[in-house]
Chain A
Amino acid sequence: MAYSDKVRDLYQEQLKALMEAGIFKQERYIHSPQSADIEVEFPEGSSLKKVINMCANNYLGLSSHPDVIQAAHEGLDARGYGMSSVRFICGTQDIHHQLEKKVTEFLGTEDTLLFPSCMDANAGVFEAVLTKEDVMISDRLVHASLIDGIRLCGAVTDTFKHSDMAHLESKLQLHSDKRLRMVITDGVFSMDGDTAKLDEMVALGDKYDAMLLVDDSHASGFIGRTGRGTHEKCGVMGKIDIITTTFGKALGGACGGCVSGRRELVEMCRQRARPYLFSNTIAPVVVAGVLKVLDILSASTERRDKLEKNSTYWRKGMTEAGFILKEGDTPIVPVMLFNAKLSQDFSRALYDEGIYAIGFFFPVVPQGQARIRTQISAAHEIHHLDKALAAFTKVGKKFNILGKTKQEIIDIYGL
Chain B
Amino acid sequence: MDDVKDVILNYISGEYLEEGSDPITYDTPLISGGIVDSFSMVSLKRFLENRYKISIPDDEATPEAFDTVTKIVELVKKFVK
Contacts and interface: CB of A to CB of B under 8 A. Distances in A.
Do A and B form a real pair? yes
B39 A158 contact: yes
B39 A159 contact: yes
Contacts of B43: 158, 171, 174
Nearest to B36: A159
A156 B42 contact: yes
B39 A138 contact: yes
Q: A interface, how many residues as a size bin?
A: 10 to 19
Nearest to A171: B43
A136 B18 CA distance: 21
Interface string A339-383: 000000000000000000000000000110000000000000000
A162 B18 contact: yes
A138 B46 CA distance: 17
B46 A174 contact: yes
A150 B34 contact: no
Nearest to A150: B39
A269 B18 CA distance: 36
Interface string A5-34: 000000000000000000000000000000
Q: Which of B18, B37, B43 has the most C-beta atoms of chain A within 10 angstroms of its own C-beta?
A: B43
A246 B34 CA distance: 28
Nearest to A167: B15
A140 B37 contact: yes
Contacts of B18: 161-162
Contacts of B46: 174
Interface residues of B, number: 8
Contacts of A300: none
Interface in A241-300: none
A367 B40 CA distance: 19
Nearest to A164: B18
A176 to B, nearest CB: 12
Contacts of B34: 366-367
Interface in B23-81: 34, 37, 39-40, 42-43, 46
A52 to B, nearest CB: 34
A156 B39 CA distance: 8
A157 interface: yes
Interface string A150-188: 100000111101100000000100100000000000000
A162 B18 CA distance: 9
A150 B34 CA distance: 18
Contacts of A162: 18
B11 to A, nearest CB: 12
Nearest to A138: B39
Contact of B40 (A147, A158, A366): A158
A161 B14 CA distance: 10
Contacts of A367: 34
A130 B65 CA distance: 28
Interface string A132-149: 000010101000000100
List of 6 A-B pairs having minimum Cβ-Cβ separation, nearest first: A157-B39, A159-B40, A158-B43, A159-B39, A158-B40, A156-B42
Interface of A: 136, 138, 140, 147, 150, 156-159, 161-162, 171, 174, 366-367
Interface of B: 18, 34, 37, 39-40, 42-43, 46
20 contacts: A136-B39, A140-B37, A147-B39, A150-B39, A156-B42, A157-B39, A157-B40, A157-B42, A158-B39, A158-B40, A158-B42, A158-B43, A159-B37, A159-B39, A159-B40, A161-B18, A162-B18, A171-B43, A174-B43, A174-B46
Given A140-B37, A158-B42, A162-B18, 19 more contacts: A136-B39, A138-B39, A150-B39, A156-B42, A157-B39, A157-B40, A157-B42, A158-B39, A158-B40, A158-B43, A159-B37, A159-B39, A159-B40, A161-B18, A171-B43, A174-B43, A174-B46, A366-B34, A367-B34
